[in-house]
Structure 1
């Protein structure tokens, strides 16, 4: 265990956990497109580019900036894709994260309108740049939101994976589509995760998908208050085996995804009562948390700190 007690507060901002992302955020707020473009050009891994784009997604004031940039540079794949992602984020905030039966007709209309605006931008980018991962991954989200079905989502994922076969953001997105709540089945969801893990090179990010699919089943098991599913020894062992192939493998490349990787694994284990097994992931994290999976269980900071304290005491 660390020689000093871990901080009493959790840090959820990736811009703090990964300082260079703070520079990207500052450039967006300052309407500095040259710096934004140079930042993405500097990144040499598509997984990192997806995380960086996610930071911009959360900046509500970026919409006008990206609209002006896309208008001034109509051939910029990056500007159009980032703008499309802002439209997706705007639409999804209107829809909310509630189940469909709790979303009004007016909300759905506005949600779909924003997604259609994003989809048109992304269609053009993908037609001009067939290997552009950021756009194809975003089209998995629009496919799900516009209810285009499993076949179309699979087609889009296949187009992306032709060029980027282990894109973790796209894999997480398709996994959502394959869950029963979006028209899939647990058999399809688990099968996809197994295929991703088996085909990925040692040390990839794919291990987190095992935690994610088990978390989704836990959430769907609402009848008994989620009490049983994650406690299974079989589930625990699958998560630990996946971690051994990914974040605990010597070839693991942390990149910008490392905070999310360790939080997903720590969350799935500790929410299932496997506190000792979760301890190594909490030690790596320190106070660095992510909204998910902790937000699934209640107040995200309370949940992270509570489970970290228990895990470190037991492991």
Structure 2
């Protein structure tokens, strides 16, 4: 459950907005594998497991703990997958989020070294446990970093979707691969978001892919063209339809991705000037926020406060 309070400054710390996650951080920082494994065992939803893995991967020094566990439990899939996720994050931090032309040769060398270490672990896990969603999800990201191409990234996603056809975390990973900046196309990007949204059960997170795709498209447009793009009534109507079958549907299940899912709709609608339509998402969020997509707007806290005020005044 999200922590809800009277409206104030947005909280970007997931451990504050979802206090139950602090048990995972405490276990990892204490080097307690029994508690760490038990936390993952308590998560029955694969998206929640993917989110938890992403949190572990961001904890500085967690690789030392996980390397020890892998040495002690060499056949267990979870320690190897968490360690691989951590290696990928270490590599991406070295690479940085800059476009390729601004990344040095040495940065790329170190980046690929860490990703190849992750790949070795993940290949083993996927060979031994073909339906292990957590590992396949990590392999979609490593495929992008190693520039293995659209076909290989899609193959990995398809393997995961054989057993988990509505895995939102993996869909979000592939969505990035389909962006033109990663040799994809706008047609492929929007087509995938629409296709998966249409196929998803009502109340799933998948509809947020539509908002993610429009935000990605908006980011690549020149000034002026970007505003016109999100103000387009056709874009607005598509966002509203996607929200209606996902995060605003009566069957929406919430979960750890609820903050970012609502956030993408709130941002896309607000940037298009559709403030009243953004209001339900801000009401659902309260003071909770995720860095994406708000960090795309400069000062993420200022952007959130500005758009929330406009939305709640109109809706």
Aligned to 2:314: 314
Decide whether aligned partners of structure 1 residues 233 and 5 sit closer, same or farther in structure 2, where only a CA change above 3 A counts: farther
State the alpha-carbon separation in 1 of the partners of residues 188 and 206 from structure 2.
Answer: 16
List per-residue Cα deviations over 1:121-157 (Å, max 9, x = no partner).
Answer: 0000000000000000000000000000011011100
State the alpha-carbon separation in 2 of the partners of residues 239 and 90 from structure 1.
Answer: 34
State the alpha-carbon separation in 2 of the partners of residues 227 and 102 from structure 1.
Answer: 27
Q: How far has the Cα of 1:76 moved from its partner?
A: 1.3
State the alpha-carbon separation in 2 of the partners of residues 106 and 91 from structure 1.
Answer: 12
Q: How far has the Cα of 1:89 moved from its partner?
A: 0.3
Q: Under a length normalisation based on structure 1, what TM-score does the superposition of the two structures give?
A: 0.97
Q: Superposition pairs for residues 8-27 of structure 1, below 5 Å?
A: 8-27=8-27
State the alpha-carbon separation in 2 of the partners of residues 63 and 5 from structure 1.
Answer: 35
State the alpha-carbon separation in 1 of the partners of residues 97 and 223 from structure 2.
Answer: 20
Q: How far has the Cα of 1:8 moved from its partner?
A: 2.8
- Unaligned runs of at least 5 residues, structure 2: none
SS at 1:256's partner residue? coil
Aligned to 1:198: 198
State the alpha-carbon separation in 1 of the partners of residues 238 and 116 from structure 2.
Answer: 39
State the alpha-carbon separation in 1 of the partners of residues 226 and 5 from structure 2.
Answer: 31
SS at 2:273's partner residue? coil
State the alpha-carbon separation in 1 of the partners of residues 135 and 310 from structure 2.
Answer: 41
Q: How far has the Cα of 1:277 moved from its partner?
A: 0.6
1:255 and 2:255 equivalent? yes
List per-residue Cα deviations over 1:17-73 (Å, max 9, x = no partner).
Answer: 111111111111111110010111111110110111111111012111111111111
CA contact (8 A) 2:239 2:269 kept: yes
Aligned to 1:162: 162
RMSD across aligned positions (CA): 1.3
Q: Superposition pairs for residues 104-143 of structure 1, below 5 Å?
A: 104-143=104-143
State the alpha-carbon separation in 2 of the partners of residues 253 and 227 from structure 1.
Answer: 32
Most deviating of 159-168 and 223-232: 223-232
State the alpha-carbon separation in 2 of the partners of residues 122 and 230 from structure 1.
Answer: 39
State the alpha-carbon separation in 2 of the partners of residues 249 and 309 from structure 1.
Answer: 24
Aligned to 2:74: 74
State the alpha-carbon separation in 2 of the partners of residues 97 and 171 from structure 1.
Answer: 20
List per-residue Cα deviations over 1:201-222 (Å, max 9, x = no partner).
Answer: 1111111000000000000113
Aligned to 1:54: 54
SS at 1:166's partner residue? coil
Aligned to 2:32: 32
SS at 1:56's partner residue? helix
Q: Under a length normalisation based on structure 2, what TM-score does the superposition of the two structures give?
A: 0.97
Q: How far has the Cα of 1:225 moved from its partner?
A: 7.0
Q: How far has the Cα of 1:226 moved from its partner?
A: 2.9
SS at 1:228's partner residue? helix
Aligned to 1:176: 176
Q: How far has the Cα of 1:95 moved from its partner?
A: 0.7
Most deviating of 53-62 and 78-87: 53-62
State the alpha-carbon separation in 2 of the partners of residues 132 and 169 from structure 1.
Answer: 14
SS at 1:310's partner residue? helix
CA contact (8 A) 2:269 2:278 kept: yes
Aligned to 2:284: 284
CA contact (8 A) 2:5 2:286 kept: no
Q: How far has the Cα of 1:7 moved from its partner?
A: 3.2
- Unaligned runs of at least 5 residues, structure 1: none
Q: Superposition pairs for residues 78-97 of structure 1, below 5 Å?
A: 78-97=78-97
Decide whether aligned partners of structure 1 residues 5 and 84 sit closer, same or farther in structure 2, where only a CA change above 3 A counts: closer
Q: How far has the Cα of 1:266 moved from its partner?
A: 0.5
Matched positions, count: 312
